[in-house]
Amino acid sequence: MKKSSSSKTSAGRPAVWILAVLCVCSSAFAQTASGSKPAQHPWMNTSLSPDERASLVVKEMTLDEKISLLHGTGMVGLSPMSPLSIHANGGAGYVVGVPRLGIPDIQMSDAAYGVRASGENGRYSTALPSDVAGAASWDTKAAYEYGALIGRELRAQGFNMSLGGGVNLTREPRNGRNFEYMGEDPVLAGTMVGHVMKGLQAQHVIGDIKHYAMNDQESGRNAVNVNVGERAMRETDLLAFEIGIRTGDVSAVMCAYNRVNGDYSCENKHLLTDVLKKDWKFPGFVVSDWQGTHSTAKASAAGLDHEEPGEIFYGAAFKKAVEAGKISKAELDDHVQRILRSMFARGVVDDPPQKSVVDVQNGFDVAQRIAEQGIVLLRNEGNLLPLDASKLKTIAVIGAHADVGMISGGGSAQVDPPVGNAILPPGKGQTRWLEPMWFPTAPLKTIRAKAPHANVQYDAGSDPAKAAALAEQADIAIVFAYCWESEAMDLESLTLPEHQDELIAKVAAANPHTVVVLETGGPATMPWAQQVGGILEAWYAGSRGADAVANVLFGDVNPSAKLPQTFPLRDADIPHPNLVKPPEASTTKDEDKEAWKKIAAGLPPFQISYDEGLKVGYKWYDAEKKPVLFPFGFGLSYTTYAYSDLKIDPGQPMHVTFTVKNSGTRDGAEVAQVYASLPASAGEPPKRLVGFSKINLAAGESKAVSVEVPAQYLSIFDEKKNGWQLVPGDYTIMVGGSSLDLPLHQSATLP
């Protein structure tokens, strides 16, 4: 695995803040130190709507105060630093408030699977299992809990805005950020991210959903121009955003680095104004990705409300444009109104965060619970799992540093492990941008704890023959295998790195009772799949990953997760078998100090055409009739489920009811999935997910399940009418436990 693209540097921020302290000018200090009693202002009347409150503030603001809300205060390596950044809280973004009017600063932190840069700031944060693991739970309550935990920890650390909420679809399975996203289906991804945002915003933190839009690969992300048809975009990637924003009432949207159909996302009028603000009636604000702003008047007219991290285009240049009449006062006020209404709507004015100590134990509990709900059982030959500790005398644990830790996802999502990288000596493990980070959650320890009477031996796996020799003598071999992913890179291939395929094949040849535990951010190919007894996909499993894995291996937890993305058989089967990479002229490197200046000025575009259009993920494999390794929606359990009694009420919304029975002998939870195939005249892929429900079922128990299907999920996007349209004709509704296992079918004719 190699990096195929690179991006911003993040080193050195604290040093610059110290510098900034020294050069803070007195007037700036007076600005942040002054302030009137907020309660006296009419906009502090909480019975007014967020919009009414914001309008009252806008009327009182000076031009300079308005401009200061439109941009951040800089970041080393990306943009010049403002002296005011002294008041930043150590997050990726800091926006100066208007103390005179009782408007607080906005303190933004990256928070994809936990609060980032915690170690850098001398703090502690819980690492949840990666976002894709949360999506694999298919459990909206777990998603809410995921967001709520992040919200609480943001507040405890003094932040009032999150930069998590990644929901780009897994159109490119090698995208290095897929672990930060929610899979390949817009209904699943949108619903799950919406619930994460609900939980987060309920803590009085501004939520943000990103990267809008079509930022589906990292290679050349600052230069690439994505060519994609309107209908394809609306029904795939944009639908995930639309559902997420609507479900979560999300207050901020981060526009992406890439261009879409010619224009940069952050100055793309079609995306920002026509779709987001007009069609979806989004009342919140658009924040640029870090150095994703490329212009002043054009971006403003297109609908970009706020530049991060600095003020290259939205500071003095913006003021000049307003004074010269190139940007109208109404346009300026709209940006400010949107930012302020979001602050009121989310409660960050009325209930500012108070720094406190993170509740570590609670974080562990939540992280473990969600990890247990997100681990997917992919194979279980002859019911090898769950393991019965009383029958095992020897266990071989092999590979992936399982003696000390589990891998996490890198880049701006990275959460810092306590005491640093588990594979480095204590004190030598500080956070580094774009290096693999291992959390101190050691499967070897949790497996030993589950099987206290067994002889549990570890082998690092670096010599496959040695590992196989250990496995041969063991009752069971558990091989941990990993693939690290990060922002600013893509995978060259879905092949596991570091010859792990060879390791697994050799171990499995030595002992058929081999279980593979995968720690990956997305799909991996598995040429050895038929040779092993069991496969678990544990993703990047978070602070308590090892406990969750052991609970699933030994049956204290019955697995209930399902894949939120297809695992293809081989790279050649994916829509773009060769990753589209930037030519030399459009490439930037971290080490290149001038990179971000070049990026701001605009790199020459190179093209990607998403000709697969609507056929993202399983829709591609279905339509192209390509067999897959593990299909979308697939996941085994230690019990079995039976489906019956499908009934359809074809009204609007449609209601689909059916019965699910736990036909086995263990309690469990089943993710029941509802798919629809549209009339042939619709010109759609063979089927699409239109609803799902996760149901807890005791052994032997049956439950009637009802899934409501909104008309939009059965519709196509009609470009001529610029709206969603139900196509009259015959639909087939299919229900079951995976996209390729749908025992219930029924037709419905829609007028």
Structure tokens at 289: 């990705």
Among 68, 162, 251, 412, binds ligand BGC (CB under 6 A): 412
Cα angle, residue 333 at apex, residues 328 and 335 outer, rounded to 5°: 105
User: Cα separations (Å) of 569 from 336, 379, 528, 699?
Assistant: 50, 15, 11, 34
Q: How far is the CB of 17 from ligand BGC (least distance, A)?
A: 16
H-type alpha helices, 460-607: 464-472, 500-510, 545-553, 595-601
Is residue 586 classed as helix, strand or coil in its secondary structure? helix
| Distance separating alpha carbons of residues 263 and 256, to the nearest angstrom | 11
Q: How far is the CB of 412 from ligand BGC (least distance, A)?
A: 4
Residue from 348, 213, 350 nearest 282 by CA = 213
| Distance separating alpha carbons of residues 418 and 75, to the nearest angstrom | 25
Structure tokens at 659: 């019965």
Enumerate residues 139-198 that contact ligand BGC by CB under 6 A: 163
Enumerate residues 595-614 that contact ligand BGC by CB under 6 A: none
| Nearer residue to ligand BGC within complex by CB, 102 or 151 | 151
Active site (annotated) includes residue 289: yes
Q: How far is the CB of 109 from ligand BGC (least distance, A)?
A: 9
**Catalytic-labelled residue, pool 131, 139, 289, 547:** 289
| Distance separating alpha carbons of residues 293 and 23, to the nearest angstrom | 27
Is residue 388 classed as helix, strand or coil in its secondary structure? coil
| Nearer residue to ligand BGC within complex by CB, 185 or 289 | 289
| Distance separating alpha carbons of residues 434 and 409, to the nearest angstrom | 10
Polymer length in residues for the chain: 751
Cβ-based neighbours of 463, under 8 Å, separated by 6 or more: none
Q: How far is the CB of 55 from ligand BGC (least distance, A)?
A: 29
Q: How far is the CB of 116 from ligand BGC (least distance, A)?
A: 7
| Nearer residue to ligand BGC within complex by CB, 487 or 501 | 487
| Nearer residue to ligand BGC within complex by CB, 237 or 289 | 289
Torsion of Cα atoms, 341 then 343 then 347 then 350, to 10°:
-100
What's the burial of 460, exposed, middle or buried (CB within 10 Å: 0-12/13-18/19+)?
middle
| Nearer residue to ligand BGC within complex by CB, 65 or 289 | 289
Q: How far is the CB of 418 from ligand BGC (least distance, A)?
A: 22
| Nearer residue to ligand BGC within complex by CB, 292 or 534 | 292
| Distance separating alpha carbons of residues 14 and 116, to the nearest angstrom | 15
| Distance separating alpha carbons of residues 398 and 458, to the nearest angstrom | 6
> How many residues lie near ligand BGC (CB under 6 A)?
10
Q: How far is the CB of 186 from ligand BGC (least distance, A)?
A: 20
Q: How far is the CB of 242 from ligand BGC (least distance, A)?
A: 20
Q: Is the dihedral of CA 242, 247, 251, 257 positive or negative?
A: negative
| Nearer residue to ligand BGC within complex by CB, 57 or 92 | 92
> Contact at 8 Å (CB) between 78 and 310?
yes
Please report whether residue 8 would count as binding ligand BGC according to CB under 6 A: yes
Among 31, 74, 76, 110, binds ligand BGC (CB under 6 A): 110
| Nearer residue to ligand BGC within complex by CB, 290 or 314 | 290
Residue from 587, 578, 607, 589 nearest 259 by CA = 607
| Distance separating alpha carbons of residues 722 and 381, to the nearest angstrom | 50
Enumerate residues 457-496 that contact ligand BGC by CB under 6 A: 487
The pattern of x and - marking residues 275 through 314 that bind ligand BGC according to CB under 6 A reads --------------xx------------------------
> Contact at 8 Å (CB) between 241 and 215?
no
H-type alpha helices, 497-654: 500-510, 545-553, 595-601, 618-623
Structure tokens at 495: 């092949």
| Nearer residue to ligand BGC within complex by CB, 240 or 574 | 240
Q: How far is the CB of 214 from ligand BGC (least distance, A)?
A: 14
172 DSSP assignment: S
Structure tokens at 428: 């030598």
| Nearer residue to ligand BGC within complex by CB, 110 or 537 | 110
What's the burial of 720, exposed, middle or buried (CB within 10 Å: 0-12/13-18/19+)?
exposed
Q: How far is the CB of 164 from ligand BGC (least distance, A)?
A: 8
Q: How far is the CB of 151 from ligand BGC (least distance, A)?
A: 16
Among 92, 132, 478, 614, binds ligand BGC (CB under 6 A): 92
Q: How far is the CB of 153 from ligand BGC (least distance, A)?
A: 17
480 backbone dihedrals φ, ψ, rounded to 5°: -95, 130
Torsion of Cα atoms, 692 then 697 then 700 then 706, to 10°:
-40
Please report whether residue 206 would count as binding ligand BGC according to CB under 6 A: no
Among 123, 195, 210, 445, binds ligand BGC (CB under 6 A): 210
Neighbour count for residue 325 (Cβ, 10 Å): 8
Cβ-based neighbours of 47, under 8 Å, separated by 6 or more: none
329 DSSP assignment: H
Q: Is the dihedral of CA 441, 447, 453, 454 positive or negative?
A: negative
Tell me which H or E stretch contains 52: helix 50-60
Cβ-based neighbours of 394, under 8 Å, separated by 6 or more: 454, 455, 456, 457, 473, 474, 475, 476
Cβ-based neighbours of 96, under 8 Å, separated by 6 or more: 31, 32, 68, 69, 73, 82, 84, 87, 105
| Distance separating alpha carbons of residues 502 and 497, to the nearest angstrom | 10
Cβ-based neighbours of 700, under 8 Å, separated by 6 or more: 661, 662, 663, 665
Q: How far is the CB of 167 from ligand BGC (least distance, A)?
A: 12
Structure tokens at 669: 């939870």
* Interface residue list for ligand BGC (CB under 6 A): 7-8, 92, 110, 163, 210, 289-290, 412, 487
Which amino acids are annotated catalytic? 289
